[in-house]
Structures are given as C-alpha cells and as structure tokens.
Structure 1
C-alpha cells in the first residue's frame, strides 16, 4: 500500500519510492522531442470545427461552425459540374385509330357521361350456350351525351343499329346542328322487338331536350321514323336585383339572390367608372341579369345586362352593348369604356430619357429622341396601343426597327430589335408581341429604344396622354337608349321600410323579377 507525500510515494515502512517525475521521465523526454509541433497539435486538437449550431448560439464556437459550413458549401458549388442542358426528345407519334379505340376501351371514364369502358372478351370452352330464351318485347333505357362524343355513337352504344343511328342523326339535324347538343344531355330511348338475336333491336322512340326552348323526339309511325318538335314556352324577362350596399356590397348582393358570376361582372363594370371602396353603405345597388324560365320549371341565368349604383344625387348607370363586334359597357349618355395611356413596351427599367445626351458610340452630344429601356436579350417587346404597322425592317442606326401608327396622328417606334415578329401593314392590338430585345444597329448592348411621334415628329413620351373612348351616335344611340329604357321598366323590388332598410344594410335585402 502506498501513501502520497510532497516528495513522492512511500511504502508502509516509510521507505521512499520512485517519484512521479522519475516515473514518467521517459515520457516527458519524448514530449520534449516533439517541440513546437506538439504544442501546436495539442492546441489544434482542442478546436471543434463542426460544433452543434443549435448550441451556444452566437458564441465563438458557433461562428466557427458557420464558417466551416460556408466553406463546405462554397467548395461544393465550385466543384459541382456545370449545368447540363437537357436534350429534347422526339415527340411521340400519333397512334392509329384502331390502337386509340383499344386504349380508350381500357381507360377509366365517367360512366355518368355515357363513356364505354372495358373490353369484351370472347367466351372460353367452359361457357355453354343457353337454349333459346324469350326476350322482353321492349327495352327502356337512357343514354347521356359525353364530352366530345358523337350523337350517332351514343345511339350505337345503347343498342341501335348503325343504319338507324345515322338515319336518326339526319332527322335531328333538320331541327338543329348536332354539334349544338350539349354534353350531359340525357336521351330516353325505347327499343322494340327484334325478329332474332342476331340483329339489333329497332328504335321505337327517342326523346331528349335539344335546347332550353325545344324538345325533340323521334317516333316510329307506321313503320317509319319521324321527327316531332315540341316547342317549350320560355319567359325571357330579365331578373332585376336591388338593395342597400351595407357593410359589404358583395355580401349584400349575394344575400339578395344575385349569382356570384353576375356580382363579379357588376364589380368590374362599376370599378371601371368609380372606386368601389368609396361607395357608402347607404348607397343602392341595381343589377339586371339575363334570365329565362321555361314552362317546365327550369331556370337559366345568363350574363349581366345592367349595372347601376345610386348614392344620393350621384348615380352610375351602365349597360352592356356591342359596338363593332366588341361588347363593352356604355353609360346612359352613350359613352363607352375609357382606355388609358400607353402600356409598357417591355418589362424593364428606363435607362435613358428624352433630350440631349452624349452618344455612347459616336462620342458627341446629340438629341436622344426617345427612351431607352434596359432589358435582357430576347425579351418580348409589346405594342403600347392598337394600331397599324407602318415600317418593319432594317433602318440604319436603329437596326431592326418597327414603327406603328395609332389613332389621332400618334405613332411609336421600336429600335435595336434582335428579331421582328410582325409585318408591314398588319393590325396589332395593345399588348401584342411585335419583336424581341436585341442590340442591332448603333447599340452598345441589348436594350429597347422607344420613340413617340405626333404627326410624324418625335416628342417626349412623358408628354403623351393617349386616351380613347367609344361613343354611340345616331341610330345606334337611339337603339341603345330604347334598350336601356326597356330594362329600366323591369319591375324591381318594392321600396323597403325604414326597419327593413336596416336589415338590408347588413346583407338581407329584397329580390324581384
């Protein structure tokens, strides 16, 4: 047994033993031989290059770990292979009709729309033919026209022979085009008795709703199929919905019974003339939608015809009208929608304005007749307004150049294009792509040089206020006002009492036809 003392270790009889220094002497000698390298290595071994970043946040060890992570990500970025552009594959060839029918028969389609799925396999040897069994004299069934389905094909799937299906199609086409029969139309079919099981059953009767106001039936009379038209009386009186705006115009109109799509169209129409958010809660909304009610009870709601709002002495009255083949909203005076200033010719920032400047290539000051927009090479360039392409081609220092003539003696020019997308004399619409950004002509880099002309003279684009507005006149204005007066004659809601007005403001209102 040993005991510790300042001089070393001693045995039980006090006999001195080797001191600790003497005992580890050889080891100390070896450490001394390592010198500074051992001291540096010992200090480096105490450093944790990858500490837990969730522990001791913002400490020296934590920042050392962040630096290690950043170094590893940087090394991965530089050592990663360059991006490889995918090789486009060949387009799949169109399969033949027979293979298409085979694939279609194995597909899963909505049976509610009359789709035929599954393949009919031949019987095996296990199946034994039945003896002759009696058939039902008539079969009553229904079929539904599927999306993209053919009228004759629907009948053939129901069991009608190909010849009779074609004959019925010819009869129905006398009343309306077969393409006008909407998908989802249900047809009631009655098949008669057949002489034997090797032939299709004859068609005795076919009835369906061809249009909202017309029912068609094909009946066998004296052995011959004949078409029977049954007109359906329809009330075309528009539906007028009025009420107080209250806390929310949308919720108040919905509570009054207006369809959601009609309300959305109403808000867009009113928003084109005034701010919808500025309409007070005490204002009255008024909208009229196309509405048809058949004598059989079905109802069909059409598009919004009239949009109005009354705020005391201030009122907005708009009616939809078609002018030059384009439907838009006109106010009671016959003024159409206003279209604002030019659209942006390209998606980018303006890098140089109109006025005197030092030319970057020629090296001297001269007039800069337009605006420059910095953009990437190949970006699309758009027509800022409707017009006609007057010039489309190469034009000296402008490079590839397009010039468009607009109404009112205005014109616009687009220079330095990489490629032109329109031809001279073509009509263009606002927002249509007319070319792509490039650096042709006297240009130091890809950008768009855009100019505006008034009567052929370049002017500052910032001084242009290009506003167009359609306006009715003459006989067309008289027809417009006559139609507006007929809509205003539609009976609306009975004026609400003061107690009812408070309920209407919270979204509950009246509805009338």
Structure 2
C-alpha cells in the first residue's frame, strides 16, 4: 500500500446492493394474494382494517349459504319398483328368510290335491336323552321320570346295585339313555341302552340283547398319587397357596390344623414355607378329583417347624405331630393362640419401672384376636379394673378361677355362664400395657398361682409299633415330589371287552331298522 492512499468516506463506500435493485418493481398480484389473510382472528385487533375485512368476509359467506340453501335438492331417480306391495308380500310368504329379515307375514300356500291328512303322528323309532341324578334322588325314580316303566326301572336299579351300591352313585351323575319303540302308544318305552360313570373308577354300560338287559362293568385305571404343594408364605399364605394350585378347602383345613399349634396371625413369617399334601386321584380318561388334607407342614430356615399328620387312634381320627403327640383334649384349653411373652414371677414392670410380682402369664397376639374361656364357669367380673384395663374373671368351681386382662372389648357380662372355648373378649392394650396382649391369671382358693403349672389339656400319644407306622407314613408322604401327581403318565391298558358309545349303539339300531 502506498503512503498517499486515503481512507474512503461513508458516502464513497461500495454499496451492498446493485443500483438495479433500487428501482425493483412492485410485488405481483399472486404474491400479494398469497400474503392476504382471509380469515383473521376477530377476537384480536378489533376495529382495525384487517378486522373489518374479516367481518366482511364472514358476512359474505353466511349470506351466500343462506341464499343458496333453498335451492339445493337431492337428485331424484325415476323408475317403478319391480313388484307392487301385494306382489311383494305374496313373494315374501314363500321365502326362506329369518324373522329378522322380514319373514313375519305368516301367510302360507293353500293345500293342493296332493296333500293327504295323517291319521296319526308317526312314532319315533327311538329316543336319546340324558338325565342327572339329584341330591336325595333315587335311581329308580330318575328312570321313571325319564319315561321308563316302573317295573323295568326297579329291575334295572336292582341290576345296577349288584355292581355298585346305589348310595355310592354321587349326586350330579349323568345317565345316558336310549329308549326304544313302544309296543303300543299307551305303554312306556323300553330301555335299549344305558351308560353312566357309576364311580370314579367304574363305568357301567347296559344294552338290550335278545330281549334282556346285559350289563358290562368297565373299570377305569386311577392314579392315586397324593398331590403335594409347597411354596413361600409371602404376604398371604392363602393367596400364595391358591396361586400354587391348592384347593380352597385344603387351604382352610391346613390353616385350622396349624392354627392349633401356632398363631397364624402373628407367628407366621413371610420367609416360611408351607407344605400341603392332599388326597388326589386322576383317572386315565382325564378327570381328576381332590380329597381331604393328609399332611400339614411348615418349614422355617430350611428345617421343619411343624409336621402334622392325620391318624386314627382308638377309632378316632385326629392330627398328630411328628413326635407322635396328638390333639390336646380335656382339662383347660389355651386362652388364645399367641405365644407366651412374659412368665409368672418377680420382674421389672415395663411402665412403673420397679420390680414387683407378675401374677400371671402374658400371651402375645394381634389386636382384636379372640380370647377363649379355658373351662366352663361363671363370669364374676366383667369391666374396667385398675391396671388390668378391661378385665374378665371367671369362677370355675372347686376354688379355681381365671382372670383375663387388657382386653380391647369384653364379650360377656357379669353373672353369665360360659362354656369351655367360648369367646369372652378380644386382645387389646387397655390399662397399664405397652402393646396388645393378654394377661392371664389362674387362682386357687383366691391366690394367684403359676398358670404354667396348670395342666390345661391332656395329649394323645402314639407308642411302639403304632408310632413306627405313623412315622413311616410321614416319610412316605414327604418323599413325594411337589406336583408329581400332575405329571403325565401313560394310560394303562384295560382288559376285557367294552361297549361302544351310545351314539354307536343308536346308529347300529337305526341301521337295523329298529
């Protein structure tokens, strides 16, 4: 750059646009029309030129619609219908059409000379029907209601009773029948064939051959492997067991059994495992049925906590522990199912803070759990009693009495006679109490004694060979794998001839022209 160069002024600066653009023609009409807003918002800029233009456009459109409305008519297509009303109804009477599509005239074609009246209704060669045995019903009465003559019904019932006692045929059993042609219209139809599932493991089929009913007994192979169900208790033992496939009746029986040993409401843990074994039978034809509870177990930390088995001793069926100890009976029952949380004797009082005599035993339990009278007696006290809160005292006679404290609610009144096991109140935390529990006392001649020294109940005990057989039964049941009863098995071959189905018998007789 030379030294005499001078800086340019703003007027001498190079323009950014060519001079030709200074005289740019006006926008075309298309561009202007494209930028025109024909439907402006009439809620904004009220009174402006754009607002008035939008109002004018709206008025023009509304006026055009009103002005042209009367002149708009649908197109009409001429032409007469193929059939008039009378002809259409006549044709419709001969159509095969559902009622929903117009077959409602009820008109029929008149009879011609080819029509001959029947002297009597034709007799059906046979009738197939099914009957169900009701509760309290009789097998012979069921046959009679189905149209079988009284003498034949009694004869068939007697013949069936030779194969299975009629009392063993369960209510709800279905009996399939084929009734043959009558000798006269005033006579009942004879039984040509009969079939039913008389028992879970037996099917009976009867067929008339040479004028007499021939019965065939068809045994059904049955797998009697008990059904074992195990699982974690979780939030709810009932819901968990139902999800695992246990029947509701079996779960209720299980809870009743273990409820006599532990408190189901407070002693069960979510990590515990239930072990339920029920009687189960499965037929080769696919049907299955579940029976009574056989075994009730509870596993905690991988080790059995409860192991209960039903066993018959001295003609009485009851539940025994794995050690051979059976149900408790006689004497006094436990006042509640909770576990002992504080024993009889001198202790430091949890509220008063000093040591004094604890004249009873405390049982833990959930709020509202029932409290039972340990034996028959008369209510001598029923109400608020000092530090015991809601308190009930019973006199059992012979100088013996019991007391029940800290109840949430009392269910008896003073002077009332109660029986062994009757609910007299519910666990609470009234009086001097740190939480819901039952304070239970036993009195002899007016003095409190240790309730643990009282023999509440007697226990049935298995011994010797009977105990060995009992434990062998437990080992047999607990050796069954969970779900083994539901595993697929190959059906067993049944010896002996079988009758075909009633449909086969019916088709055969129809083919013979019977």
TM-score, normalised with respect to structure 2: 0.50
Higher Cα Rg, which structure:
2
TM-score by length of 1: 0.50
